[in-house]
């Protein structure tokens, strides 16, 4: 290669650089950089960012994310979303110019992530289609449609007496260790094959508890359609605060695609406690039980995002199952009463029933569904129309019977029937029944066909009955949609009576 050729290449390169420099028009853009004034446990006070927006994502010190929560004339209160151990007064705070958001899309299905979208399952980065703001406005009332489609939990006592509709907000409330999470996980597992996307949001739970829940979901094939959003008890309060909003944004993406979505918040007690901690550290005025004045609003604006959209808006649904923990069965405490007033009903788990082995420990007298009855399948009106009333009467009679009073034959018959209803409503974990199977069993108990069966063998008789009906009638799906006046019911009663008579 001769020197002339090299010189020609060099000249062309110099000309290219010169043209690039001449065409470049640098623009100076101002950037606001604040300084940390003080650091507390989970919050930071900073100054120097007069144009910062509410809920804007900020980067503090080396690389700690934070969210602008309090915007005051001379300072900004920031909720830390990461460890603040390396932060100190004087460190820089850099604005990102965007509100806090989370990755959404099909890429999050089957993943375990933080509220910021970071993977926790070791399966690589999240392949998100887009990002949505964590805090979003609830759908307009004019864009909402009535709840008219059931969300089957597979649990007899809930689907029969406290039904849940798609787009409803049903609170699960009870003392600790009474089976609240078990009901939520059972419901998620029962959505397999139902084309429902599930989101399990664990807020402030122990790592071991979350790991067991994820393992159960994997074992039953539920992770294929489930997203798990995890923030542990040792994580910053700011991260616990944004967790349910992030989970809801993930669900809203699918809802606006016309999908049916189920979101479980486990639990909002710890969410309220995290927000109280942030508010007190930011020196907001405390109210009842030291909670800030807007504690009702943070939950109402979260749960108002759950709804059923009209067909012209996509027709998707977002069903919420918030969980709340009570102390000593006190459902009239501050946070439980707030959430009961916001939601469309509650499933109350009684620790006394739990200790007696009545599982799930649902207290039918206190539990209610204000919407789901309109969405119930037709069969339930036939097989369980009066079941709630008769069961409540049985509970009152049982309370009087404890005094040892003399009872007539009619009262004894009602007590005997009520005991069989209670036994038939018991159900093991992760043993869901289809709507058709529930219809057959409930028809048997309401017609008194389990009367000759010994009380200790009721669940055995149930398995015997379902096994024979599966052989003779298949999957029983036709029962679930049969009208209450269908003559088929009379033939089914005779068939069930014959099956139970053949039981050894």
Q: Residue 159 in 3-state DSSP?
A: helix
Annotated catalytic residue 370: yes
**Degrees to nearest 5, angle at CA 162 with 197 and 299:** 60
Residue length, the chain? 504
Q: Residue 99 in 3-state DSSP?
A: strand
Helical packing angle, 237-255 and 268-281, nearest 10°? 130
Reference 133, options 108, 113, 103; nearest CA is: 103
Reference 499, options 457, 460, 477, 466; nearest CA is: 466
What distance in Å separates the CA atoms of residue 217 and residue 492, rounded to the nearest whole number? 36
Q: Write 126-132 long-range contacts (CB < 8 A, 24+).
A: 128/103, 128/104, 129/104, 129/105, 130/103, 130/104, 130/105, 130/253, 131/101, 131/102, 131/103, 131/104, 132/101, 132/102, 132/104, 132/249, 132/250, 132/252, 132/253
From the CA atom positions of the chain, what is the Rg in Å? 29
Lookup: tokens for 487: 């003559």
Reference 244, options 310, 304, 180; nearest CA is: 304
What distance in Å separates the CA atoms of residue 458 and residue 28, rounded to the nearest whole number? 79
Reference 465, options 429, 438, 425; nearest CA is: 438
**Degrees to nearest 5, angle at CA 403 with 400 and 408:** 60
Choosing from 370, 374, 388, 429, the catalytic residue is: 370
CA 120 remoteness from chain centre: 19
The phi and psi torsions of 5 (rounded to 5 degrees) equal -65, -40
Lookup: tokens for 415: 């007590």
Contact 266, 323 (CB under 8 A): yes
For 315-358, give the secondary structure using H, E and C. CCEEEEEEEEEECCCCCCCHHHHHHHHHCCEEEEECHHHHHCCC
- Asked if the bond preceding 294 is cis, omega within 30° of 0, the reply is no
Enzyme catalytic residues: 370
């Amino acid at each position: 290669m001769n020197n002339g050729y090299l010189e020609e290449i060099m000249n062309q390169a110099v000309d290219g650089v010169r043209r690039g420099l001449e065409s470049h028009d640098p623009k100076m853009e101002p950037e606001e950089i604040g300084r940390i004034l003080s650091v507390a446990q989970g919050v930071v006070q900073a100054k120097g960012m007069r144009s910062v927006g509410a809920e804007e994502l900020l980067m503090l010190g080396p690389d700690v994310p934070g969210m602008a929560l309090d915007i005051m004339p001379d300072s900004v209160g920031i909720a830390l979303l990461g460890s603040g151990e390396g932060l100190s007064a004087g460190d820089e705070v850099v604005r990102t110019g965007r509100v806090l958001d989370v990755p959404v899309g099909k890429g999050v299905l089957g993943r375990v992530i933080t509220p910021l979208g970071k993977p926790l399952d070791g399966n690589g980065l999240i392949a998100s289609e887009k990002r949505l703001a964590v805090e979003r406005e609830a759908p307009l009332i004019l864009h909402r449609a009535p709840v008219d489609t059931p969300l089957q939990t597979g649990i007899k006592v809930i689907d029969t007496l406290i039904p849940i509709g798609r787009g409803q907000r049903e609170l699960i409330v009870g003392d600790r260790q009474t089976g609240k999470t078990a009901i939520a996980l059972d419901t998620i597992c029962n959505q397999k094959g139902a084309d429902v996307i599930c989101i399990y949001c664990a807020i402030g739970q122990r790592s071991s508890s979350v790991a067991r829940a994820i393992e159960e979901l994997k074992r039953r094939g539920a992770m294929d359609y489930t997203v798990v959003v995890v923030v542990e008890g040792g994580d910053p309060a700011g991260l616990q605060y944004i967790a349910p909003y992030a989970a809801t944004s993930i669900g809203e993406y699918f809802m606006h695609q016309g999908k049916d979505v189920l979101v479980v918040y486990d639990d909002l007690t710890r969410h309220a406690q995290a927000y109280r901690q942030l508010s007190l550290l930011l020196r907001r005025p405390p109210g009842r039980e030291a909670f800030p004045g807007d504690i009702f609003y943070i939950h109402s604006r979260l749960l108002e995002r759950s709804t059923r959209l009209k067909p012209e808006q996509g027709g998707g649904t977002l069903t919420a199952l918030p969980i709340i923990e009570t102390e000593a069965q006190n459902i009239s405490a501050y946070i439980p009463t707030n959430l009961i007033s916001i939601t469309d009903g509650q499933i109350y788990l009684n620790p006394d029933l739990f200790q007696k082995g009545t599982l799930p420990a649902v207290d039918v007298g206190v539990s209610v569904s204000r919407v789901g009855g309109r969405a119930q399948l037709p069969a339930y009106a036939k097989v369980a129309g009066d079941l709630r009333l008769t069961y409540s009467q049985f509970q009152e009679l049982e309370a009087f019977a404890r005094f040892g009073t003399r009872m007539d034959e009619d009262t004894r018959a009602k007590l005997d029937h009520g005991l069989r209803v209670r036994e038939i409503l018991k159900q093991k974990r992760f043993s869901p029944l289809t709507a058709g199977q529930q219809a057959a069993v409930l028809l048997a108990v309401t017609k008194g066909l389990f009367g000759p069966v010994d009380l200790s063998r009721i669940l055995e008789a149930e398995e015997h009955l379902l096994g024979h009906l599966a052989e003779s009638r298949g999957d029983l799906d036709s029962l679930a949609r049969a009208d209450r006046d269908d003559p088929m019911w009379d033939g089914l009663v005779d068939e069930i009576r014959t099956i139970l008579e053949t039981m050894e």
